Structure formats: C-alpha cells, structure tokens
Amino acid sequence: MPSTLAELQQWVDAVAAQTGASRIHWCDGSQEEYDALVGEMQEDGILLPLNHETHPGCWLHRSDPDDVARVEHLTFVCSRDPEDAGSNNHWMAPAEAHAKMDALFDGCMRGRTMYVIPYCMGPIDSPLSRCGVEITDSPYVVANMRLMTRMGADAQRRIEREGSFVKGLHSLGELDPARRFIMHFPEELTIKSYGSGYGGNALLGKKCHALRIASWQARQEGWLAEHMLIVGIENPEGQVHYIAAAFPSACGKTNLAMLIPPKAYRDKGWKVWTVGDDICWMRPGADGRLYAINPEAGYFGVAPGTGDTSNPNALATLQRDTIFTNVAVTDDNQPWWEGLDDRVPAKDWKGRDFEPGNGPAAHPNSRFTVSAKQCPSYSPHAEDPQGVPISAIVFGGRRASLVPLVFEARDWTHGVLVGASMGSETTAAATGKVGVMRRDPMAMKPFCGYNFADYFAHWLSFDQPGAKLPKIFHVNWFRKGDDGKFLWPGFGDNLRVLEWMIGRVEGKAGARDTPIGALPTAADLDLDGLSLSPEAREKLFGFERAGWAAEFESIGTYLGELGSRAPDALKREHGAIAARLAAEPATASA
C-alpha cells in the first residue's frame, strides 16, 4: 500500500515517472502475494516447476548465461571523496554515477510492473536491524527478497515509524553485460543496480545493503557489518558459545554454520545451532561483549558440493519451498548438482540435454534460496532482538600450503592484523579466474563500502577499557599434501577445531607459542577416530619459519599499499612479528 512517509512516497513516484513503469505493486510479504507471483512467473517461463512430489514448493530459475555471478569490476562505491572509497573499491564521482545510471533507468520499465519491496535486515524488532526499500522490475527478485529478508507490511511500518531507510533501485534492463553497473552511494544510503538479475547484483538487501552500505553505516554508528557466519556450539554441559567466522564465498561458510558433529561428539551431547551462514552485524553490549544478529532471513547458498556427506542439514533444508538457480535436473525433474549424488542428470543448467563435454551439469555458482527457519539446526535464539554474545571470531581462506589448520591471535590488535592480511584462492562466486591467491581481508574485499585502511582502524577502535572482546583465530581447512589432496577431513570434523577454540576461550586448552600466534599440537585436539598421516600432522600443526617470513614480507608490501591511512598499530604489530620470524631458528617445527 502507498506509504504514509512522504520521503518514501515521493521517491517511489519519482522512480515510476522516470522508468515509465506500467504498474506499481507495493509488496506486503503475504503468502497470497508470493503464490500469485510464482504463478505469474511460471506462466512467463521465469520459474520452472520441479518435481513437487519429491520437492514440494520448489522451483528452478535459469539465468542468462552471461549473468551468473557477482561482477566486481562493474561494482562501484561512489563516495564524495575517492580516498574514502579506497583502493579496495572501484570509485566513480557521485554526479557522474547518477548521470550514468539515470540514463539507463530512463523508460526502462515501460510495459513492466514496478515492485516496491520494503524490507528489514535483521529481526523486525531488533535495535541492531536496519531497513531498506528495493524498487525492481524483476518478480524473481521479489520472490527471493521475501525468502532472504523480513519483507512486507511489518517492515514498511517500521520504516514509516523510524523515517529512515536505504534506497535501492534495480532493473533487469536488457541483461546486456555492456550496460551493467552496481553503484553504491554511501553518504546518500542509496544503491542503483542495472542490467543483472543475479542474486549478489540484484537482491539489494544482501551484499549491497547488508555489507557495502551497512559497513559504512556501522563505522558512523559504532558497530561492525561483516561477511561472517554465526554458529552456536553447545557443549555436553549445555553451555553455548557463539562463534562468528569470515570465509570468502564458496569456502565453506554454510557448511560450518550447519555443521553436524561427528557421532562420537553427538553421543557425548555436543550440539550445533545455526544463527546465520553469510552476514553478521555486531555491536558492543552493556557488558562489554560483542552481540551479533544475522541480518538475513534466508540462505542464498552455493549448490555444488552440498550433499549428504558435506552438509546434511543444508540438504534437508532444501527439500521444500526453495528457489533453485542454474542447477541441473534429473529425468524425473528433481534438482541436481555436482556433489549431490551419483545420478546422471538429464538437463544441464542451460536446459540442454546433459553432455559431459559441455562442462558441469550445474553451474559452479548455481544457488538455492530458502528460508533459514527450515534448517534443522536453526537456532532458537536467531531472532533474539539483542543478538547473541560472540565468544570467538574466526578468519580463514583456501590456502593449499604454508598456513596450518588453526592458530590463535595473541590479542585484539594481532587478530585484526590476522584478518587484515588474510589470503585465499579465488572461487567461482565471482567472475574471473579461479584458484588465484589474493588478499581478502576479513573476507570483505568485494564488500567493504569504504577504505580498507579506515576499516582496519575501525576494527582496532573496539579495543577500549572495559571491552570483553572475543578471541580471534585463523583456520585453514584446505591445506594440501604433496599428492595434492586435502590433509584435513573437514565438514563435521571441524568441530574438533572449534572445541579447541572454546577451550582456549575458557582457559582450558593447551597451545604452543610461535611468532604467528598460539598453535595447538596434535595432542591438544581430540583426534580420536581420525587417521592422520605423519605428513598431515606435520603440516596441519606445524610452523614453517622460512615460508612465514616470506608471507610477512608480502603482508608488509600489502600494508604499504594502503597508504598514509594505514593504522600505525597494524604496522607496529607487523614489524614485531617480522622481527620474531627473523630471529626464529630456520627449521620447521611441528
């Protein structure tokens, strides 16, 4: 329904006039609205029905083949001062960016319905939540936003009550890669996206709002908007520790968030609770601890690799009321992707008869969109307005060599350096070459809405008198042996590492000091039931001085590239560790 907030109504009217929309629909978020929308998309061929006997309420969407991932090279932060965007972002002057986008949006919705989507990122009654409105001509976006956010009438009422919201304008346009841009105007709390229907480019509540714009808001308001999962680990005594963990896309965040403990752990009474799988907003509480909410209401997860071995909880979540994008289908019209099972699909992600010579049946970045509440491990505290207290923060990426299984930062400043210097091999979640090692600080390289140097300084600012900050750790599930195979089993066995972290938080677990932090020995982890080779034990728990010396030389170069805004505290921490590495005996230890 039209808004009682003048600013919102005037903006909607102006966009309708600019785009020439044939019809305006204010989304209320109801089931009736969703059902009608899905019916219309089925008629138009935007959604294809899947086997509703095996997967009730599930649908398949096939993207344009040139529109299947985030487009970082076409994503801009349009702050007034280019230095505020930093070298970690592509920058364009706001006036130039608005002119470019306005030219694209002029008349672009003629013959189309303009959908107005009020949404809330976070529990509807949480003081940590923030609201936005996305205007789009894509019914696929509307359906996904209903699953991914608290969308509709309740959100609109909060917006009208508070009087502030993030403005997001989106159009599919012609889906022409040459006319595709995603622009962020942080000082204006505005997003403009044109020419893409892919989730990360088109679901503006997700990466655009919840990370790029929210990270800017968070710096102004004294909180953190992070590319992190939130998971609760319950020990046999019934105590729950909440952990926030940052990994680049397609590096196992969803798997860790929905982890199922090994049988021996389950038998002892260990449980895992899923709060969120991708984004985490944290704010200091009155007691000095950081409290976190998941701003999202659903999962927009990578399908390939999700199976009964890797993530049974995710698989159970997807059995109903899910939108699949760019997966393959079996001959009885069930969704399929690599890593699901050993069936041979009938149709690939483009709708062609499956031929191995055409490449993977499902696109490597094919996705599922589903309500978080369907997850068997969904936390009963996921909707707590005050959030959940964070005991530990974990950073990690894909590193085939050098980086051990886990280590602990000595203090908050060291932990910020660990996150700031995090490296990972690229994946299919973004356009470009896969498998290239790049620095991805806090897994925020594609998502931080402002200068990384200022971002690191903001992180450091939380170390205040009276603060009870989480311990910071780094993990690497992806260390490989000389034969190129992974040395650590991963998946459920990652709980063994989380147990050690919790032991460190509680002051119970052992570790040995090294220049890069506190490393467990193999004896400090519960490895009962695992068969690790001598090579695995050496490389997973070892410290390679020469390799780390070279790594810190590279980190020093990276910090230098941040320019004059780079925090002196990080430079000093880097220098102190580099000096320790230089003084360390040259032999590797394990």
Of 27, 78, 120, 251, the active-site residue reads: 251
The answer on whether 249 is annotated among ligand-binding residues is: yes
Q: How many Å apart are CA 58 and CA 50, to the nearest integer?
A: 6
Q: What is the mean pLDDT of the chain?
A: 96
Nearest Cα neighbor of 254 from 238, 236, 272 is: 272
Q: What is the pTM of this model?
A: 0.96
The reply to whether 179 sits in an annotated binding site is: no
Percent of the chain with pLDDT over 70: 97
Task: Give me the CATH code for the 6-48+68-222 domain, please.
Answer: 3.40.449.10
User: In the predicted model, is pLDDT for residue 590 greater than 50?
Assistant: no
Say whether 299-374 and 226-297+380-583 share the same fold. no
165 is in an annotated binding site: no
CA dist list (Å): 525 to 25, 83, 405, 528 = 56, 45, 11, 9
| pLDDT at residue 251, as a whole number | 83
Q: Of 547, 213, 216, 240, nearest to 389 (Cα)?
A: 240
**pLDDT tens, 63-115?**
999 999 889 999 999 999 999 999 999 999 999 999 999 999 999 999 999 99
Banded pLDDT at 19 (limits 50, 70, 90): very high
Please determine, for residue 485, whether its predicted confidence score (pLDDT) is greater than 90.
Answer: yes
pLDDT above 80 for 145: yes
Element (H, E) at 302: strand 298-302
Distance, first Cα to last Cα, the chain: 65
Residue spans of the domains in the chain: they are: 6-48+68-222, 226-297+380-583, 299-374
526-534: average pLDDT: 96
**Residue 344: exposed, middle, or buried by beta-carbon count in 10 A (0-12, 13-18, 19+)?**
exposed
pLDDT, tens digit (0-9, with 9 covering 90-100), for 28-62? 999 999 999 999 999 999 999 999 999 999 999 99
More confident residue, 331 or 426: 331
Mean pLDDT across the stretch 467-476? 98
251 is catalytic: yes
**CB atoms closer than 10 angstroms to residue 518:** 19
Tens of pLDDT, residues 333-388: 999 999 999 999 999 999 999 999 999 999 999 999 999 999 999 999 999 999 99
Ligand-binding annotation for 254, yes or no, is yes
Beta strands in 406-516 (DSSP E): 406-408, 423-425, 437-439, 471-475, 512-514
341 is in an annotated binding site: no
Task: Find the range with the poorest average confidence among 261-270, 304-313, 350-359, 360-369.
Answer: 304-313
Residue 588 has pLDDT above 50, yes or no: no
Q: Is 367 annotated as a binding residue?
A: yes
CATH (one of 3.40.50.300, 3.90.228.20, 3.40.50.720, 3.10.450.750) for 226-297+380-583 = 3.90.228.20
> Residue 254: pLDDT above 60?
yes
CATH number of 299-374: 2.170.8.10
Average pLDDT, integer, range 284-303: 97
Query: What amino acid is encoded at 45 in this protein?
Result: G
